[in-house]
Structure 1
């Protein structure tokens, strides 16, 4: 079948080639027959031959351009599919040589889209099945958060208060003790800030009974405030997402924000989630120290976890960063229409 379709295109190219050759021969014969008296010099003869050759090349060029447009159209559609737009289809004109090829492409895209949609639905069902076990883990994290708050956090606060009062107790060697006291005060304050961030991570809010947008409206500002970040939240979700997709996106956001706090040394962060029609796009952009691609540890737990959560729903994770320019994390998950 494929050889037959390529044969049709081959015969069409041969037709244009034969037409251009025929035009050159007919033109040459006509010139010899009717303009023989004018073609007495080699210069005139060469001029006529050059004009006829250009005519043949023009016919061949327009024929090749038409074929190239058909190939470019197919190529662009393949790129659209590779970028996640599985709803893209080619208009197949029966008069076009690429008609059957376009039809086969559309059938292939339709089949792959259906398979990916079934895969995504299957993954969503598995996510919901494991949701109950994740709830148990979340409850344990909440318990740990309460224990840490009642013990370690209060102890660190006591260390901070004691260190701050030491200058009043040490008067004889105040010059030598002052730098150490200042360092101790800063270290204890920093440790207290870190433990508060850990408590916030161990005690995440759940999406039970609320949408992803409502959950992030509550969680994101509070998380940024606790970690001294200037945060901006941009959500454009005109239609509700599936429960499984919202759950996975929420967990990816938590992991991504934890990475910003731990590694980026950022002052501001922008979290955006938008519905692009054929896919849902999540982006976390910070103004931190960034890193080079060589420094990226693709096997780190945080990146691996986020990548696996995206892949569960047929999506992908991308990271763009350079030293001194911050980091941008993107997650793209295909969104299918019900068929």
Structure 2
């Protein structure tokens, strides 16, 4: 069948050459039989050449248009596949010279879709397993650190308060030093209290167990922006429920991305967007900070690589667009599979 298709493909192309040749020979025969005496005129010869050339162009145009259309269909399908539309397929006609190419592409796309879906399912299972193993330990450690910091700072504040209470004695012995000491102690107490609130807020564990990603972000994101003096914009559009693993990885990527904004971007505004595309879930973090060049990223910086690893666990990818003085945009794309595709993949794995 494979050889027959190639043979058929060659003959179809050869037919166009045969048609073009027959038209040329027929035209020459008609001219020699009926217009031989006019061949002495250069105007007639010129028009004859023009007509024959035009006929050959017309035949070649229809031949190349048919074949170019077939190549364009394959090219468009390949572009869709490269953009993450793993369900892209080429419709085939019963009699199709490109049938073997289209069939090979459709088989390849089906295999890629199945394997990426399987990769995502394995990544979700691994993420959930890792989350179950580490969540309790991490949460308990954060609570312990929060309690320790609270007790330490509270004792410091108590010491400051005790020192301030001793000010009456300082007033009796050295009245001139008392006002400066009082102002200093008051400033220290305010600073310690502010530091305590900030540390406890940062160490407070954020859980997605009893809430969706959107609900958690609506509570956490504004508070995070206020703590770090950022103007934040949050846009979440997820009409369908996404898996727990994707929500968890998205939230970890958001935390990592916003931490990079606070540490390195010197930004005033940050915009967080999550939406559901036709074939993907898309997360985007954009700031108006100082931006950077890729060659300026320190080799010891693991923030961007960590985000890529988290996305790759679910078959996704991370793209970063940044320019010095124009801010940075981080876009994360995770493939989306329908329930029918999930059941089909699961059934294939069971077999």
Instruction: Compute the TM-score of the two structures, normalised by the length of structure 1.
Output: 0.84
**CA–CA distance in structure 2, aligned partners of residues 17 and 153 of structure 1:** 92
Structure 1: unaligned runs, 5 residues or longer: 171-180
Report Cα offsets for 1:137-178 as digits up to 9, x if no partner.
23212322343344359869999xx9xxx99539xxxxxxxx
**CA–CA distance in structure 2, aligned partners of residues 76 and 194 of structure 1:** 56
Would you say the 8 A contact 1:28–1:49 is kept in 2? no
Would you say the 8 A contact 2:213–2:247 is kept in 1? yes
**CA–CA distance in structure 2, aligned partners of residues 48 and 267 of structure 1:** 75
Q: Show the counterpart of 1:265.
A: 266
**CA–CA distance in structure 1, aligned partners of residues 154 and 22 of structure 2:** 91
Count the aligned residue pairs.
319
**CA–CA distance in structure 1, aligned partners of residues 14 and 54 of structure 2:** 18
Q: Note the C-alpha offset of 1:11.
A: 2.3
Q: Show the counterpart of 1:100.
A: 100
The answer on 1:91 being equivalent to 2:91 is yes
- Larger mean Cα displacement after TM superposition, 192-201 or 37-46: 192-201
Would you say the 8 A contact 1:281–1:331 is kept in 2? yes
Q: Show the counterpart of 1:213.
A: 214
**CA–CA distance in structure 2, aligned partners of residues 79 and 104 of structure 1:** 16
Would you say the 8 A contact 2:274–2:284 is kept in 1? yes
- Counterparts of 1:119-134 in structure 2, within 5 Å, are 119-134=119-134
Change (3 A) 1:204 1:13: farther
Q: Show the counterpart of 2:116.
A: 116
Q: Note the C-alpha offset of 1:302.
A: 1.1
**CA–CA distance in structure 1, aligned partners of residues 269 and 154 of structure 2:** 26
Q: Show the counterpart of 1:53.
A: 53
Secondary structure of 2:39's counterpart equals coil
Q: Show the counterpart of 1:35.
A: 35
Q: Note the C-alpha offset of 1:232.
A: 0.8
**CA–CA distance in structure 2, aligned partners of residues 105 and 88 of structure 1:** 10
Would you say the 8 A contact 2:6–2:97 is kept in 1? no
Instruction: Compute the TM-score of the two structures, normalised by the length of structure 2.
Output: 0.82
Q: Show the counterpart of 2:66.
A: 66
Q: Show the counterpart of 1:177.
A: none
**CA–CA distance in structure 2, aligned partners of residues 58 and 295 of structure 1:** 57
Q: Looking at CA atoms only, which structure, 1 or 2, has the larger radius of gyration?
A: 2
- Counterparts of 1:158-197 in structure 2, within 5 Å, are 169=180
The answer on 1:141 being equivalent to 2:130 is no
Would you say the 8 A contact 2:5–2:99 is kept in 1? no
**CA–CA distance in structure 2, aligned partners of residues 23 and 156 of structure 1:** 102
Q: Show the counterpart of 2:249.
A: 248
Q: Note the C-alpha offset of 1:2.
A: 5.4
- Larger mean Cα displacement after TM superposition, 51-60 or 255-264: 51-60
